C-alpha cells in the first residue's frame, strides 16, 4: 500500500489532470452506456414486434385441419405438416413444430434447442425469448396454434410452433454501434485530456509565478512584484501577495534603517568613550602607584575604580570590534606565521604564560590573520581563566583539512540550558563579563571561514576552533 501511495501524483497539476480525465471517462462511459442501452432496446423491440406480427399473421392464415377435426375433414399428414413448417420459415427464420408427440424440424435447430420453460408457457400464449444457439443469437417465438370451431369457439389444436428469428443483423449493428461509441469515447477522452492539460497550465501558471515570487522574496529580493491579470480569485491572491510584499519591504527597510542607526550609535559612542577612557586609565595608574601610601579605604577605592575602568575599556573595545563585524568593515590581513609563537606572545602579553598548559609544535606554520587569531586565543583562554578552573589546556594540531585549536578548563562547566547560547551577544551565564568575548571569537573564526564549537567535559568545558587552509 505504501509503494502504491508513493506512485500517486502529489502535484496539483497531476491531480487536476487525473480528475479531469476521470470525470471525462465517467461521463463518456455513462453517455455511451445509456446510448447503447437505448439503441439496443429500440432495435430489439422493433425486431421483436416485426417478428411477432409476421408470425401471428402467418399462423392466422393456416387452413390445415388440426386438433378436433370436423366431420369429413381428413387428418393432416406428415407431409402436410412439413409443408406448413416450410411455409412458416423463410430468410433468417428456422421453424420447429411439435404435434401429437411428433416433432418437425429442419437440419439446423431441433426441439432440444427450445428451453423447457418456454415450451411450457407457449401452451397458453405467444411468448418470446432471446437465446444463443450454436454461437448465434436468435429471437425465439413460441405459441400453440388456435382454431375457431363452427360454433365460433376458439380451441387449442395441440400444434406448438417455435420460430427462431436470426438476430445476426441486429447483433452486427450493435457491434458497430459499440465500436463507434468506443471510438467516440476515445476521442472525447483525448479532447478532455488536452483540455485538462491546457486548463491545468492556465490555472497553475499564476500559482507557479506566485511560488517563484515567494522564493525570490524569501531570498531577500523584497522588490519582487507580480502583474495582476483578470478579476478572479488568483488575481485577488496575486494582488494580496503584492500588498504583502510591499508591506514587508517597507517594514524591513525601516528595520534596516533602525539597525544601521543603532550600529552607528554604538560605534560613535564607543569611539567617543575611547578618549576619556584613555585619560581615566592614565590617571588611575598614577593613583595606583600612590595607593600603597594611601590609607586602606582610599587604596581599595582606587583599585576598584581602576578595575572598573579596565572593564569599561575592554567593553568599549569589544563594542567597536562588534560594530565592525556588523557593518561589514572587518577584513583579514593574512600572512604565514608560526602558530606557537603567536600563541605564546598572546599569553605572555596578558600574563598567562604560566597559567596555561600549551601543547603545540614549535615548527607549525599556518596562513592566517595573526591579530584576529590572537583575539580568538585571548577570548577563549580568558573565558577559561575567568569562568573555569585550572589547569587550562591549549592544544594545537595541524590536520589535513586545516588548523585545530582546543581550549579546555577543568571547572564546573556550563549549565545545560546555557550551552547553546554561549555565542549569543550579551548572554552571560554568570554576573561577570560582558557577554561579547565568545561572540567576537566566533566572528573572527567565521571571517577565516572556520568555526568554533563547545562541548561539555567531565570536568570542565572544551572549545574547539577549526580554521581551513587558504
Q: What is the per-residue pLDDT for 463? A: 92
CA dihedral (255, 260, 263, 266) positive or negative? negative
Residue 2 located in a structural domain: no
pLDDT digits (tens, 9 = 90+) for 157-167: 888 889 888 88
Question: For residue 347, what is the domain's CATH number?
Answer: 3.30.565.10
Q: Is the domain of 364 the same as that of 417?
A: yes
Range of the domain at 240: 222-329
CB neighbours of 377 closer than 8 A, spacing ≥ 6? Answer: 342, 343, 346, 347, 394, 405, 407
pLDDT at position 396: 92
Q: Are residues 336 and 414 in the same domain?
A: yes
180 and 159 together in one domain: no
Residues 6+ apart with CB under 8 A from 160: 97, 98, 99, 119, 122, 123, 142, 143, 144, 145
Q: What do you get for the CA distance between the two ends of the chain, in Å?
A: 52
272, with CB counted inside 10 A (0-12, 13-18, 19+), is exposed
236 and 206 housed in the same domain = no
In a domain, 439, yes or no: yes
Given a cut of 70, the residues of the chain with pLDDT beneath it are 1-13, 16, 71-72, 149-152, 260, 262-275, 277, 285, 287-288, 290-291, 318, 320, 324-328, 427-434
CB 436 within 8 A of CB 444: no
Q: Which domain CATH number covers 247?
A: 1.10.287.130
Q: Do residues 96 and 83 touch, judged by C-beta distance below 8 A?
A: no
Position 156 in a domain: yes
Specify whether 336 is located in the same domain as 447. yes
In a domain, 1, yes or no: no
Residue 440, all three cell numbers: 567576537
β-bridge partners, 49: none
Boundary residue ending a domain (304, 329, 354): 329
Calpha distance 167→318 (Å, rounded): 103
Q: Do 336 and 284 share a structural domain?
A: no
- Assess whether 52 and 187 both reside in one domain: yes
- For residue 4, being part of any structural domain is answered with no
Are 348 and 305 contained in the same domain? no
Task: Name the domain count of the chain.
Answer: 4
Per DSSP, the three-state class of 227 is: coil
Residues 352 and 448 in one domain: yes
- Domain boundary (136, 166, 196) is at 166
State whether 109 and 124 are in the same domain: yes
Residues 384, 292, single domain; the answer is: no
Q: How many angstroms separate the CA atoms of 293 and 304, rounded? A: 16
pLDDT given at position 178: 81
**pLDDT at 296 (0 to 100):** 75
Task: Tell me: do 337 and 404 sit in the same domain.
Answer: yes
Read off the CATH number of the domain in which 162 is found: 3.30.450
Give the domain-ending residue among 148, 166, 184. 166
Q: Please list the alpha-helical segments (H only) found in 328-417.
A: 339-349, 370-387
Amino acid at each position: 500500500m505504501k509503494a502504491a501511495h508513493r506512485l500517486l501524483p502529489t502535484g496539483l497539476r497531476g491531480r487536476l489532470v487525473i480528475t479531469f480525465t476521470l470525470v471525462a471517462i465517467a461521463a463518456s462511459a455513462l453517455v455511451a452506456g445509456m446510448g447503447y442501452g437505448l439503441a439496443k432496446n429500440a432495435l430489439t423491440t422493433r425486431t421483436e414486434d416485426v417478428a411477432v406480427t409476421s408470425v401471428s399473421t402467418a399462423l392466422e392464415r393456416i387452413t390445415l385441419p388440426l386438433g378436433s377435426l370436423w366431420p369429413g375433414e381428413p387428418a393432416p399428414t406428415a407431409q402436410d405438416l412439413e409443408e406448413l413448417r416450410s411455409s412458416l420459415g423463410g430468410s433468417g427464420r428456422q421453424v420447429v413444430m411439435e404435434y401429437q408427440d411428433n416433432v418437425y424440424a429442419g437440419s439446423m435447430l431441433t426441439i432440444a434447442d427450445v428451453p423447457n420453460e418456454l415450451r411450457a408457457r407457449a401452451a397458453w400464449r405467444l411468448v418470446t425469448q432471446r437465446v444463443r444457439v450454436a454461437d448465434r443469437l436468435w429471437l425465439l417465438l413460441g405459441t400453440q396454434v388456435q382454431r375457431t370451431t363452427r360454433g365460433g369457439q376458439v380451441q387449442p389444436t395441440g400444434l406448438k410452433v417455435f420460430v427462431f428469428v436470426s438476430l445476426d443483423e441486429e447483433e452486427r449493428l450493435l457491434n458497430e454501434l459499440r465500436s463507434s461509441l468506443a471510438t467516440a469515447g476515445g476521442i472525447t477522452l483525448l479532447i478532455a485530456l488536452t483540455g485538462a492539460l491546457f486548463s491545468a497550465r492556465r490555472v497553475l501558471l499564476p500559482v507557479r509565478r506566485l511560488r517563484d515570487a515567494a522564493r525570490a522574496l524569501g531570498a531577500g529580493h523584497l522588490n519582487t512584484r507580480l502583474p495582476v491579470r483578470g478579476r478572479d480569485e488568483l488575481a485577488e491572491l496575486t494582488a494580496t501577495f503584492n500588498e504583502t510584499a510591499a508591506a514587508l519591504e517597507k517594514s524591513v527597510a525601516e528595520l534596516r534603517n533602525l539597525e544601521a542607526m543603532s550600529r552607528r550609535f554604538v560605534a560613535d559612542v564607543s569611539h567617543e568613550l575611547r578618549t576619556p577612557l584613555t585619560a581615566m586609565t592614565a590617571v588611575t595608574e598614577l593613583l595606583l602607584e600612590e595607593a600603597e601610601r594611601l590609607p586602606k579605604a582610599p587604596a581599595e577605592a582606587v583599585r576598584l575604580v581602576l578595575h572598573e575602568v579596565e572593564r569599561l575599556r575592554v567593553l568599549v573595545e569589544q563594542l567597536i570590534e562588534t560594530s565592525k563585524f556588523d557593518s561589514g568593515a572587518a577584513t583579514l590581513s593574512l600572512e604565514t606565521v608560526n602558530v606557537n609563537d603567536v600563541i605564546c606572545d598572546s599569553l605572555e602579553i596578558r600574563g598567562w604564560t604560566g597559567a596555561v598548559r600549551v601543547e603545540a609544535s614549535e615548527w607549525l606554520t599556518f596562513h592566517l590573520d595573526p591579530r584576529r587569531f590572537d583575539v580568538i586565543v585571548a577570548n577563549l583562554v580568558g573565558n577559561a581563566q575567568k569562568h573555569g578552573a585550572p589547569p587550562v589546556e591549549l592544544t594545537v594540531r595541524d590536520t589535513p583539512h586545516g588548523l585545530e585549536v582546543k581550549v579546555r578548563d577543568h571547572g564546573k562547566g556550563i549549565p545545560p540550558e546555557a550551552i547553546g547560547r554561549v555565542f549569543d551577544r550579551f548572554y552571560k551565564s554568570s554576573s561577570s563579563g560582558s557577554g561579547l568575548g565568545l561572540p567576537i571569537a566566533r566572528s573572527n573564526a567565521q571571517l577565516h571561514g572556520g568555526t568554533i564549537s563547545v562541548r561539555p567535559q567531565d570536568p570542565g568545558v572544551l572549545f574547539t576552533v577549526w580554521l581551513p587552509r587558504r
